[in-house]
C-alpha cells in the first residue's frame, strides 16, 4: 500500500491529535464502508449521530453489498432512508452535527444541507482528484491504465468532486484486482488511515488545497466506444477493459464488454493474465494469451 502525506505535505498526526470531538452525520450507500467508518470515528472519540442512505429503487442494479437496513446498522445511532435529496437539510439540522461526512452516495447533495453542519461537509472520493471526478473513478483508473487507484478526502461544494483537497493517497493496482471485493478492503484501510489528520485539519478551520483545472477529468459512465473487445489489443489492455466494466457496477447505459467469437456474442465478466485452471478458456490477444474466467452469452 503506497500512502502519501496529507495535502499540506506535513506528516499525519497521531490518532485524534489536534482534532476536537465532533458530532458526525454520515451519508453513505455502502454497508461495508459505514461500519468500519463509524467504528473508527468512535475510536477517535467522535460521536456519529446518524447514518443516512438512499432507499433502493427497483431500476438500480443488484448491489455488490447488502442493502442498508436496521439489521446491518451499527448500534447506537439512527438510520435514515430517503427517496431523494429534497429533505436532506431538514433531516440533518435536528442532529446539530459539527460535520457531515459523505462516502459513496448516488445523488448530488444540496448546498443547504452541506452548509448546515458547523464545520461543513467532507467526502471520500476513490480517485486522485482532480483526475477522475464523477461516478465511476475506479473504472476509469483501469481504463486509463493507471498504476494505482486513488483515495481523496475533500471538502464538498455545490458541484461533484470539485471541493478543496484535505488528503490523498494511492493504492497499487494489482493484476488480480478484478472485483470490488478485491479492492475495497485496501481502499477503506487507506482512507481510514488518513482520517485522523483530515479531521484535525477540519477542526482547525483549514479549508484544504483548492483544486485546479490542470489534470481534471470526468469519470462518467461507459458507452459504445468502450463496449466491444478487440483481441488485436494486448492482453493487459483487454484484461483492464473487462475489470473496468466490473467497476461500473451495472450503471452503464448498455452491457459490456462484448466479445464476438466463433459466431457468438458473449459478455466477458472476468479474465486472467495467467492460466487459473478449471473451466477458464484461452484466447489469443494481440501480444499473447488471455484466459476468460467468467462470461455469459448475449446472442
Contact 20, 201 (CB under 8 A): no
Residue 57 pLDDT:
58
CA distance 137 to 222: 11
The average confidence (pLDDT) of the chain is 89
pLDDT per residue as tens digits for the range 86-124: 899 999 999 999 999 999 998 999 999 999 999 999 999
Which triple of cell numbers denotes residue 122?
467532507
pLDDT per residue as tens digits for the range 264-288: 899 999 999 999 999 999 999 999 9
CA distance 67 to 55: 9
Most confident of 4-18, 74-88, 272-286: 272-286
- CA distances 65 to 61, 174, 221, 239, Å, are 11, 22, 20, 24
Q: With 90 as the cut, is the pLDDT of residue 172 above it?
A: yes
Which of 85-99, 175-189, 251-265 bottoms out in mean pLDDT, i.e. has the lowest? 251-265
Residue 63 pLDDT:
52
Average of per-residue pLDDT across 28-34: 86
Domains along the chain with CATH numbers: 23-203 (3.40.50.170), 224-297 (3.10.25.10)
Which of 52-56, 170-174, 193-197 bottoms out in mean pLDDT, i.e. has the lowest? 52-56
Average of per-residue pLDDT across 115-138: 98
Q: With 50 as the cut, is the pLDDT of residue 16 above it?
A: no
Q: How many other CB atoms are there within 10 angstroms of residue 244's CB atom?
A: 22
pLDDT per residue as tens digits for the range 187-231: 999 999 999 999 999 999 999 999 999 999 999 999 999 999 999
What DSSP character marks residue 129?
T
Residue among 228, 221, 284, 206 nearest 253 (CA) = 221
Q: Which residues, in sequence order, are CB contacts of 195 under 8 Å at separation 6+?
A: 40, 41, 44, 153
Average of per-residue pLDDT across 140-154: 98
Average of per-residue pLDDT across 152-164: 97
| Cell 493484476, residue located | 175
What is the value of pTM for the model shown?
0.89
Residue 261 pLDDT:
83
Percent of the chain topping pLDDT 90:
76
Q: Please state the separation of Cα 127 from the chain's center in Å.
A: 8
**What is the band of 7 on the pLDDT scale with cuts at 50, 70, 90?**
very low
Q: Which of the pair, 267 or 1, is modelled with greater confidence?
A: 267
Q: Which residues, in sequence order, are CB contacts of 84 under 8 Å at separation 6+?
A: 107
Residue 20 pLDDT:
81
Residue 5 pLDDT:
36
Amino acid at each position: 500500500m503506497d500512502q502519501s502525506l496529507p495535502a499540506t505535505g506535513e506528516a499525519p498526526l497521531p490518532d485524534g491529535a489536534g482534532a476536537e470531538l465532533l458530532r458526525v452525520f454520515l451519508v453513505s450507500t455502502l454497508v461495508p464502508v459505514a461500519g468500519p467508518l463509524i467504528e473508527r470515528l468512535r475510536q477517535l472519540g467522535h460521536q456519529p449521530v446518524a447514518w443516512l442512505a438512499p432507499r433502493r429503487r427497483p431500476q438500480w442494479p443488484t448491489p455488490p453489498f447488502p442493502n442498508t437496513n436496521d439489521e446491518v446498522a451499527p448500534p447506537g445511532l439512527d438510520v435514515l432512508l430517503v427517496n431523494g435529496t429534497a429533505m436532506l437539510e431538514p433531516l440533518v439540522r435536528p442532529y446539530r452535527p459539527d460535520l457531515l461526512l459523505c462516502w459513496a452516495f448516488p445523488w448530488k447533495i444540496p448546498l443547504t444541507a452541506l452548509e448546515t453542519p458547523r464545520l461543513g461537509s467532507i467526502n471520500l472520493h476513490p480517485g486522485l482528484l482532480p483526475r477522475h471526478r464523477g461516478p465511476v473513478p475506479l473504472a476509469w483508473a483501469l481504463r486509463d491504465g493507471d498504476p494505482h487507484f486513488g483515495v481523496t478526502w475533500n471538502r464538498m461544494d455545490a458541484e461533484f468532486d470539485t471541493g478543496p483537497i484535505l488528503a490523498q493517497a494511492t493504492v497499487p493496482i494489482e493484476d488480480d484486482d478484478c472485483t470490488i471485493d478485491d479492492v475495497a478492503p485496501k481502499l477503506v484501510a487507506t482512507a481510514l488511515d488518513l482520517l485522523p489528520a483530515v479531521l484535525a485539519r477540519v477542526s482547525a478551520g483549514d479549508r484544504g488545497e483548492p483544486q485546479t483545472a490542470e489534470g481534471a477529468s470526468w469519470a462518467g459512465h461507459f458507452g459504445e466506444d468502450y463496449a466491444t473487445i478487440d483481441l488485436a489489443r494486448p492482453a493487459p489492455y483487454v484484461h483492464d477493459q473487462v475489470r473496468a466494466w466490473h467497476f461500473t457496477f451495472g450503471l452503464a447505459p448498455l452491457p459490456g464488454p462484448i466479445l464476438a467469437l466463433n459466431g457468438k456474442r458473449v459478455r466477458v465478466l472476468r479474465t486472467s493474465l495467467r492460466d487459473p485452471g478449471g473451466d477458464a478458456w484461452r484466447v489469443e490477444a494481440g501480444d499473447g494469451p488471455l484466459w476468460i474466467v467468467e462470461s455469459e452469452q448475449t446472442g
